[in-house]
Structure 1
Amino acid sequence: MNFQRIFIPVAGVAAVVLAYRFYGWAGVAASTAGLMMWMLLHFTRMMQVLKRATDRPIGYVDSAVMLNAKLKPGMTLMHVVAMTHALGELQSPMNTQPEIFRWTDGSQSSVACTFAGGKLVQHELSRPSS
């Protein structure tokens, strides 16, 4: 189960309740402003990553070998898209778990990444035989 889906909203509500308990309505206003700023920062980062990805072909990466070296299990799909500056080419059927995306470079080397719940589970480098 993904505890972030539960923990983050509960922590936000707890912050507002504690702010009211200790500082009254001024605390509620300050904690709500802080939570809104945090959400806007995440939204802005996501928009920047997707804006950069629009300028590149789907599934293209400069170096598949370097991407493979930088990948670690547990990375989010958004983090991988930020590293590659391109959306991955979907290899699995739409709306099924796990999702498999592939990035290919100019030498036809490719990295296939498997994501379960938005987190990287495994990745595999494929190089053309010469």
Structure 2
Amino acid sequence: MNFQKILVPIAGVTFVVLAYRFYGWAGVAAAVGGLVMWVMLHFTRMMQVLRRAASRPIGHVDSAVMLNAKLRSRVTLLHVVALTRSLGELLSPKDEQPEVFRWTDASGSSVSCTFTGGKLSHHALFRPAAVDDSGAPAPAP
């Protein structure tokens, strides 16, 4: 169960109640103002990330290898979109868990990311087979 969906509203209500208890209605006004500011900061960040991603092709990243190196478990989809500056290509059926997205670079390398509940649970780098000048696949090192 995602406790963050429960704990954040409870913490907000507790903050407002404690502000009333210690400072009266002026404390409530300050606490609610602070909470509204916090929500607006998160909304502004989300809109900025999505605005940057809207101007790029879906599923494109500058370097799949660098993206793979920067990824870590439990980061949100919004964080990955901010890293890539692009929306991922959806590989899984729409509105089904887990969600699988892929980002590909110009060399054909791609990173496949699996999100469960909006958090990154697994990622894998796929690189195309090396081809020598004759067109035949090069031997593995």
Aligned length: 130
Matches within 5 A, 1:38-117: 38-117=38-117
Counterpart Cα distance in 2 of 1:94 and 1:53: 20
Separation of aligned partners in 2, 1:120 and 1:126: 17
Q: Give the number of the structure whose alpha-carbon radius of gyration is greater.
A: 2
Partner of 1:124: 124
Aligned to 2:11: 11
- Residue 51 of structure 1 and its aligned partner are, at CA, apart by 0.3
Quote the Cα distance in structure 1 between the aligned partners of 2:12 and 2:57.
38
Question: What is the CA distance between 1:66 and its match in structure 2?
Answer: 0.3
4+ aligned runs moved over 4 Å, structure 1: none
* Secondary structure of the structure 1 residue equivalent to 2:59: coil
Name the % identity.
70
Task: Tell me the CA shift for residue 110 of structure 1.
Answer: 0.2
| Offset at residue 64 of structure 1 (A) | 0.2
Cα offsets for 1:74-103 (capped at 9, x unmatched)? 010000000000000000000000000000
Structure 2 residue identity aligned to 1:89: E
Q: Which has the higher relative contact order, 1 or 2, with Cα contacts under 8 A spaced 6 or more apart?
A: 1
- Structure 2 distance, partners of 1:4, 1:39, is 15
Deviations 1:91-125 (A, max 9, x none): 00000000000000000100000000000000000
Report the Cα offset of residue 62 of structure 1: 0.2
- Structure 1: runs of 5 or more not aligned: none
Determine the structure 1 residue equivalent to 2:29.
Answer: 29
Corresponding position of 2:133:
none
How many angstroms apart in 1 are the aligned matches of 2:127 and 2:19? Answer: 56
**1:3 Cα shift?**
0.9
RMSD: 0.4
Task: After TM superposition, give the deviation of residue 6 of structure 1 in Å.
Answer: 0.3
